A and B are shown apart, each in its own frame.
Chain A
Amino acid sequence: MEFKPNIVGFACHWCTYAGADLAGSLRLKYPPSIKLIRVPCSGRIEPEYIIQALANGADGVLVGGCHFGDCHYKDGNYKTARRMKQVEEMIKELGVEPGRFRWEWISGSEGQKFAEVVTEFTETLKELGPNPLKGGN
């Protein structure tokens, strides 16, 4: 059977979640691999959530927020950047393949970008195969 990656997505309410909504209303095609969790701002996404998702066997984790200058709370996404840069590095050190984590700025008008990112990410994960941390719970 073909491997269908399971992506946990954390999306800020004001931009990336709105972008996902737009992708839906525009009927853009993208794989049904992502489960989106809406958060008020990407600055609210704790590295702990990402690590927990990966440890629980998510094949990939996507973090989405507003572009710089657009964050509804002014600087939430700057904080996101300062954390995610480090998350990227640390999960690699812990032995998680770097391709399993991705963070992107996607605005409310970028439905197209949302669909593209999810499609591309799903392809990468298909190549990587299932998360070795899956199961064993």
Chain B
Amino acid sequence: MADKLKFAFLLAGGCAGCEMSLVDISEKLVDALEHLEVVFWAPTVADVKYKDLEAMPDKSIDLAFVDGMIRNSENEHMVKVLRDKAKILVAFGACATLGSIAGMANMHTKEELFKQAYQDTFSTDNPDGVYPTPEYLLDGKYDLTIPEFLPEVKVIDEVVPVEYYVGGCPPHPDFVAAAVEAVIAGNLPPASGKAVCDVCERNPRNQGTDRFLVEEVYRTSEKAPEDGVCLLQQGIICFGPFTQGDCGCSCPKVGIPCRGCGGPIPGVKDYGARAMSAIGSILGSEEAVEQLMQKYPVLAKFYYRYSLPSSLIERKKRAIKKG
């Protein structure tokens, strides 16, 4: 057996749910560890420091995963370091590939975000209005610094080149296991290209019936979904038709519409625009469109729920700022 593959995992601006998903493959991870040598897994799992990664020779890591988006200067710096050290870099999960939920922050100013996070949330008690600052002088003598909050959320491939993308918030453990096995066997598969609908038992096509146009739109809280019937056909807007289905249709299976965490199926340039196109075609009337716009008053947050920072317009805005 060849040498073990040197493996690294970095959490950038994410919630570490993606890492939980890797841990969730349980025995399969134990098996995989016979073939993988974990040289870096921080700041979450292994007892290694950033400076240890910085000290490694370039291209000395065979395979590196990064989860989370670029939110602050630390994320940006560490992703660049990891890129230098790794032969193959995988953007792992919705944050890393598309920007995910926290990417919607790009529709707000830093002031709005800080006020919400450090002032207005129920669980926050901040009578003096103390907000984080990159530098702080404590007791007049300790010069403390924290990473700088960047003006926007960026996705990983905006900062460094990425070889592979894995969607999902987080990626489904079954799919992670399949990916890890493929990596070890040395044959990373091409994207499956199967949409959530393709693997959905509710799909009218899989039941031999036709789709029809939808006249009434319901939010999930307004209607209990009927079993065995396509959610979209019941007016509960579901993003299954254009979302990569590696999760095995996790949400519709339990009566929750897909919101697109798996990312776009191949060939889609702009997730939100494609989503709008498909949903626009299934709605039966302008009244139904108006109803949808009333119930989801910010369309960009609806259609780009997991992908706003990776949208063509957002990427372009930042490209221009960078000059």
Which residues of chain A have a CB within 8 Å of any CB of chain B? 46-48, 50-52, 54-56, 79, 81-83, 85-87, 89-91, 93-96, 132-133, 135-137
Contact = CB atoms under 8 A, between A and B. Distances in A.
A17 to B, nearest CB: 21
Contacts of B288: 82
Interface in B17-56: none
Given A90-B299, A136-B323, A83 B313 contact: no
Contacts of B276: 47, 83, 86-87, 90
A54 B314 CA distance: 11
B286 A96 contact: no
B311 A94 contact: yes
Contact of B277 (A54, A83, A89, A133): A83
Interface in B286-323: 286, 288-290, 292-293, 298-301, 303, 311-317, 319-320, 322-323
A90 B283 CA distance: 17
Interface centre among B311, B313, B314, B315 (most CB of A within 10 A): B313
Contacts, number: 87
Contacts of A91: 313
A56 B268 CA distance: 16
Contact of A47 (B107, B273, B323): B273
Given A82-B281, A83-B276, A86-B280, A133 B320 contact: yes
A77 B8 CA distance: 52
A46 B277 contact: yes
Contacts of A133: 313, 316-317, 320
B176 to A, nearest CB: 30
A90 to B, nearest CB: 4
Contacts of B277: 46-48, 83
B269 interface: yes
A86 B274 CA distance: 12
What 4 A-B pairs have minimum CB-CB distances, sorted nearest first? Answer: A83-B280, A136-B320, A55-B312, A93-B300
A48 B281 CA distance: 14
B270 interface: yes
Contact of A82 (B273, B283, B319): B283
A136 B316 contact: yes
B286 A94 contact: no
A133 B273 CA distance: 17
Nearest to A93: B300
A133 B318 CA distance: 10
Given A91-B313, A133-B320, A85 B289 contact: yes
Contacts of B298: 93
B273 A46 contact: yes
B272 A90 contact: yes
Given A46-B277, A47-B277, A82-B281, A90 B316 contact: no
B289 A95 contact: no
Given A46-B273, A83-B281, A133-B320, A96 B313 contact: yes
12 contacts: A48-B269, A48-B273, A48-B277, A51-B312, A51-B313, A82-B280, A82-B281, A82-B289, A87-B273, A89-B299, A93-B107, A137-B319
